[in-house]
Amino acid sequence: MSYLFFIDEKQNLLLRPECYKLCPELSALDEKDVLFISLAYDYHSVYRQFPEHERVRKAMFHAYDKYDTEFLNKTSIKLGIEAYKSLQYDRKIEFADRLQKKIDSLLDLIEYEENAKSIADKLKTIEDLRRTIKGLENEITESMINKGQVKGDQDLSWLEELQSNRKYYLSLKKENV
């Protein structure tokens, strides 16, 4: 379960107040918008096993009972998505996702490949990528267990972790612009 939101006793999804303080873009959204973003983009969403386009579709049906592609073009939704992603950003999870996308593209290429050596090379690459993903997943699990430990056995506060995630995410976005 994510630490950015919680489910109250009425089964409503609520974003933690600290998130609104760090990302005022989230304040402009209503409850259904936040529910959609959380379900579509949270690392621990119930739809996490689906590819992004499918998560977005399922989350939209869950939150709004319809699918509307124009909705995704709203500036407030785009800003809300980026803000939410920045709060939970984990570079290892993002890297593992990019590697999985490479595996998917290699599988698409193999489907039409006729050269046996080329197929074998692509399968070897896929095997190596899967091994790398498995290693990243192990590191992620270990870091979740040890999360927040710093020198002197002090813990980072939850808010400090969010601030750190956001700062790193924004620095990456700045580099790509």
Which pLDDT does position 31 carry in this prediction?
A: 84
Which pLDDT does position 147 carry in this prediction?
A: 58
**What number of residues does the chain have?**
177
Give Cα 78 to chain centroid, integer Å.
15
Reported as a single tens digit per residue, the pLDDT across 36-95 is 998 899 888 889 889 889 999 999 998 899 998 888 899 999 999 999 898 888 889 889
Which pLDDT does position 159 carry in this prediction?
A: 66
CB 66 within 8 A of CB 59: no
SS3 state of residue 68? coil
Distance CA(125)–CA(123), nearest Å, equals 5
Distance CA(25)–CA(37), nearest Å, equals 12
Sequence spans of domains, the chain = 5-88, 91-176
Percent of the chain predicted with pLDDT > 70: 82
Task: Tell whether the model's pLDDT for residue 164 goes beyond 90.
Answer: no
Which pLDDT does position 165 carry in this prediction?
A: 77
Top pLDDT among 98 and 7 is at 98
End-to-end CA distance of the chain: 32
